[in-house]
Structure 1
Amino acid sequence: MKKDNCTAILVGKDASLDGSTMIARDEDGYGGINEKLFVVNEARHYDENYISKYNGFQMHLKGDGCRWTASPTADESEGRWDEQGINEYNVAMSATETEATNPRCLGHDPLVKDGINEDSMVYLVLPFIKTAREGVKRLGQLIEKYGTGETNGIAFSDNKEVWYLETAAGHQWVAARVPDDSYAICPNIMVIQNIDFSDEDNFMYASTIRNFVDKYHLNPSQDGIFNFRDIFGTKDEADSYYNTPRTWYGQKLFNPSIEQDPTSQEMPFTRVPEKKISVEDVQKFLTSHYNGTQYDPMDTFASGNEKDQKKFRSIALDRNQESSILQIRNDVPKELAGIQWLNMGFYAYSPYVPFYTNINNTPQNYQVADHTVNPEESAYWLYKTLQVIVEPRYHQYIYQINNYRDECQSFSVSRISEIDEKAKELSIDKLTSFLTEQNEITANKITAKTKHLMSDLVRQALNNSKYQFERGDNL
């Protein structure tokens, strides 16, 4: 359902401008339509026989779960697909980056058709964890017990740590901690490299993985280094054009002094950025399409030829569904720390809307997205409609779109400062209701800005129709 689509970026707290941790991901899907919601799941006791509607995975789910946000698919007939969110302990989870395992490894540990897959992971993990490490351990244990039918990358974070877990074959997995001073770019390809099995602070892994690799002679290293990417990854020609250019562009943005080949299979998993990374920087990457290079398929100035512009898979493209930046802040009380920046539609045209996650509800138009196109009642369809209006006249509208997105971001930043300040005056028992109300005010304002923009763009289009005829004075 979401094969070979998404793009992620992970940022350690000392690499970010304000000391936040950030895990962020574009969720894409084939067909251009995959109606998405933004919801809050209440804290409750779980005691259920969970069955995935996507692949039939089953397990008995039992335990006390906390409150958590999610961006699920509106139509659950093919699974939940909760995708990404933040729980009440300020632990964030994003699942998943679809990846691939080479056939040699799959021959010895095949994927499990009814194993735990992307559609179920957030639901079965995020409500039950209090730290990012706990998230890695819980998901890892589920994969070892039940197997998985997919190769995936999954991100976890809290206010201290950022982790990336990658599955390989039916029951194998590793996880690496992103250094505090570093960032990672994760397209649809394995990215974790050398594993130090003696370093429990920075690595976790399946209990079977070393014996598995040794038993079947899977490690190609001449010096015994356990490079997860080299052992389990694909590293084929398709990766060089579909995946690695996205890593190249992200590292070009944050380490512009480093020269790399966009098709290189050897770019590092993490880098220390040359400058601190802000939320706006993360947004720029997640909404990018090789801007400023000859590979930009939407290049305003046509600096590249048509062949170059179609050479690499862009980040912003027609299959974009929703993008979330899960930010856990360290300069505010914990009750205000979690913010989920949400962008629906085509990311290059739509704004990111900031939602505090210590809430008990979301705006009504973020809870509606059925198969009927209804921009008046559905935030998803509002931004999808904006895409339809802009795309045919991209070069005509892009400066107006960029100004609109900048205005929305400035408004969002000011709103966060305003809400943080007002929250200082409130008791803890009133904060959740207050933040819920403030989220709605923020979202409604940006919704109104979007509708005003769309009205203006439609009027411009009508006044610039190709089918015009001016009558003469004698008629």
Structure 2
Amino acid sequence: MKQTECTTILVGKKASIDGSTMIARSEDGGRTIIPEGFKVVMPNEQPKHYESVISHQKIDDSDLAQTPLRYTSAPDVSGKNGIWAAAGINSDNVAMTATETITTNSRIQGVDPLLDPKDGGLGEEDFVTLTLPYLHSAFDGVRRVGYLVEKYGTYEMNGMAFSDKDTIWYLETIGGHHWIARRIPDDAYVIAPNRLNIDEFDFDDPDNFAASSDLKDLIKKYHLNPDREGYNMRHIFGSSTIKDAHYNNPRAWYIHNYFDPDFGGNPGDQDQAFICHANRLISVEDIKWAESSHYQDTPYDAYGDQGTPEQKKTFRPIGINRNFETHILQIRNDVPAGLAGVQWLAFGPNTFNSMVPFYTNVTETPESFQTTPKFNLSKIFWLNKLTAQLGDTNYRVYGELEDAFEQKSLAQCHKIEHDTDEAAKDLKGEDLEKALNAANDKMAKTVYNNTVDLLGQMVEEGHGLMTLKYDLLD
């Protein structure tokens, strides 16, 4: 079973620099490398009969009877543990990212236990495949996943996000068959690490909050609420552990202080707010930097020179060797609908890669992003893994090369995107898809070639830094 430990970032349309909605997540794993790819799933490829690989849960054919939409995805290319589609945007410009592994506590597990996968239930393996092709709005995602969780149950705690051009909803599963969801205010952002994240909740505000129909009664019946007033879902259903203080909370704390230097607080704070507001409008570059971060300019930076060896290992960073795929799903409001969906995508450790803004109104994906399960340097997943592992040996030297590479790559992709937006704004149907396929290929080749150049520069710089050397003048 694939273990995923991710960091989610959500940005409302009035909080973003260009008026788009953005939902982002780094898809992280364990010690074993999990190659991730990029795929377009056509309606005729969507399963009509579905059975999970991990839990062997069968989905009733009636729940797959709707006409599916085309959508993009970032699957596990091995397929050994199922599809794990991770994230994408469908042809109605609705986006979904799933899932963020989150925490729970013994009180709710004693009331509504998670399923044993031997007995069925759904998990991260399944949610995007069973949900995204049937959505016509962000809130459709809440309804669909809520229905699936209540009917089939789940064997793990998960968070997931949905967006359209106007709204973002974030949903968290609760126990085996319950769930909660909150609409993200347009002017707000969210940082959601591997904990139960939704805090303040209002059962009397259906425009902004949603939950299993019996959840309020369940909380009362089983005395689950530790607070004297109101409903804080993190207090009721989540955790507040030493692991949270070292593994989860510091990631949120660091990015909060990047988006708002007045945020303050301490890395281990357990009650950092779910809904937050930045001191500026947030860009794609801000999100990528956040997803690549490792506590720079603090004693906790593994690459820094401020802390002791112990401090450098105190907190889990966001940018880490276990980043295997990271995406920013952007629905834009300043272009025609056929151009609005953009899936920014990067493979490998975020500290050493670059995002590529792929149009999602397409029928194919670039060859270099069609990852192979085995090591293959013609595929950017494996190329990025190589540059990251070499870069990690001397970050002081290689980090500057990577910064220049990323700045160059993002600028070139922005230029291709701007040119394509202008050239394709009046195109429709197959003509538009052809133009966007070509633009995606051009961006993929540009970043792939830049990454090859980066690797060459790293080899040249590293030649004189090798330990295995001997010079009569030494």
Letter aligned with residue 160 of structure 1: D
Q: 1:443 to 1:47 in 2, by over 3 A?
A: closer
Specify which of 127, 143, 160 is matched with residue 166 of structure 2. Answer: 160
Q: Which residue of 1 aligns with 2:87?
A: 84
CA shift for structure 1 position 4: 5.8
Letter aligned with residue 14 of structure 1: K
Letter aligned with residue 21 of structure 1: T
Q: Which residue of 2 aligns with 1:27?
A: 27
Q: 1:35 to 1:47 in 2, by over 3 A?
A: closer
**Counterpart-to-counterpart distance in 1, 2:207 and 2:146:** 16
**Counterpart-to-counterpart distance in 2, 1:3 and 1:209:** 28
Letter aligned with residue 238 of structure 1: K
- 1:361-404 CA-partner distances (Å, limit 9, x unpaired): 0011211321x21112x221111111122111222211111111
- 1:33-52 CA-partner distances (Å, limit 9, x unpaired): 10110000012385633111
CA shift for structure 1 position 461: 2.4
Q: Which residue of 1 aligns with 2:275?
A: 270
Q: How many residues align?
A: 467
**Counterpart-to-counterpart distance in 1, 2:468 and 2:223:** 69
**Counterpart-to-counterpart distance in 1, 2:284 and 2:395:** 25
CA shift for structure 1 position 200: 1.1
Letter aligned with residue 250 of structure 2: P
- 1:136-168 CA-partner distances (Å, limit 9, x unpaired): 100011001111111111011010001100011
**Counterpart-to-counterpart distance in 2, 1:102 and 1:2:** 22
Q: Is the 8 A contact 1:47 1:62 kept in 2?
A: no
Q: Which residue of 2 aligns with 1:350?
A: 353
- 1:404-423 CA-partner distances (Å, limit 9, x unpaired): 11111111111111110111
Q: Is the 8 A contact 1:390 1:397 kept in 2?
A: yes
Letter aligned with residue 96 of structure 1: T
- For structure 1, which segment, 17-26 or 44-53, has the greater mean C-alpha deviation from structure 2 after superposition? 44-53
Say whether residues 1:11 and 2:11 are aligned partners.
Answer: yes
What does 1:9-408 align with in structure 2 at a 5 Å threshold?
9-44=9-44, 48-60=48-60, 61-113=64-116, 114-223=120-229, 225-299=230-304, 302-370=305-373, 372-376=374-378, 378-408=379-409
**Counterpart-to-counterpart distance in 2, 1:251 and 1:453:** 31
- 1:93-142 CA-partner distances (Å, limit 9, x unpaired): 00011012101110111111221111000000000011000011000110
SS of structure 1 residue aligned to 2:433? helix
SS of structure 1 residue aligned to 2:40? strand
**Counterpart-to-counterpart distance in 2, 1:442 and 1:392:** 29
**Counterpart-to-counterpart distance in 2, 1:46 and 1:331:** 31
Q: Which residue of 2 aligns with 1:459?
A: 460
Letter aligned with residue 375 of structure 2: V
**Counterpart-to-counterpart distance in 1, 2:34 and 2:128:** 18
- 1:52-93 CA-partner distances (Å, limit 9, x unpaired): 112222112322100000000011121111001111111110
SS of structure 2 residue aligned to 1:207? coil
**Counterpart-to-counterpart distance in 1, 2:71 and 2:114:** 29
- 1:156-191 CA-partner distances (Å, limit 9, x unpaired): 101000110001111111000110000000000011
- For structure 1, which segment, 183-192 or 44-53, has the greater mean C-alpha deviation from structure 2 after superposition? 44-53
Q: 1:47 to 1:29 in 2, by over 3 A?
A: closer
**Counterpart-to-counterpart distance in 2, 1:126 and 1:118:** 13
Q: 1:294 to 1:47 in 2, by over 3 A?
A: closer
Q: Is the 8 A contact 1:48 1:62 kept in 2?
A: yes
**Counterpart-to-counterpart distance in 2, 1:386 and 1:392:** 10
**Counterpart-to-counterpart distance in 1, 2:279 and 2:203:** 30
**Counterpart-to-counterpart distance in 2, 1:457 and 1:3:** 31
- For structure 1, which segment, 68-77 or 42-51, has the greater mean C-alpha deviation from structure 2 after superposition? 42-51
SS of structure 1 residue aligned to 2:125? helix
**Counterpart-to-counterpart distance in 2, 1:470 and 1:219:** 70
SS of structure 2 residue aligned to 1:293? coil
SS of structure 2 residue aligned to 1:119? coil
Q: Report the aligned-residue RMSD.
A: 1.4
Q: Is the 8 A contact 1:69 1:86 kept in 2?
A: yes
SS of structure 2 residue aligned to 1:245? helix
**Counterpart-to-counterpart distance in 1, 2:4 and 2:372:** 24
**Counterpart-to-counterpart distance in 1, 2:419 and 2:48:** 42
CA shift for structure 1 position 260: 0.8
CA shift for structure 1 position 425: 4.6
Q: Is the 8 A contact 1:105 1:169 kept in 2?
A: yes
- For structure 1, which segment, 397-406 or 422-431, has the greater mean C-alpha deviation from structure 2 after superposition? 422-431
**Counterpart-to-counterpart distance in 2, 1:368 and 1:269:** 35
**Counterpart-to-counterpart distance in 2, 1:254 and 1:471:** 52
- Structure 1 unaligned spans of 5+: none
**Counterpart-to-counterpart distance in 1, 2:26 and 2:171:** 17
**Counterpart-to-counterpart distance in 2, 1:389 and 1:447:** 17
**Counterpart-to-counterpart distance in 1, 2:273 and 2:286:** 20
Q: Which residue of 1 aligns with 2:432?
A: 431
TM-score by length of 2: 0.96
**Counterpart-to-counterpart distance in 2, 1:373 and 1:47:** 29
CA shift for structure 1 position 427: 3.7
Letter aligned with residue 335 of structure 1: G
**Counterpart-to-counterpart distance in 2, 1:427 and 1:178:** 32
Say whether residues 1:440 and 2:436 are aligned partners.
Answer: no
Letter aligned with residue 315 of structure 1: I
TM-score by length of 1: 0.96
SS of structure 1 residue aligned to 2:245? helix
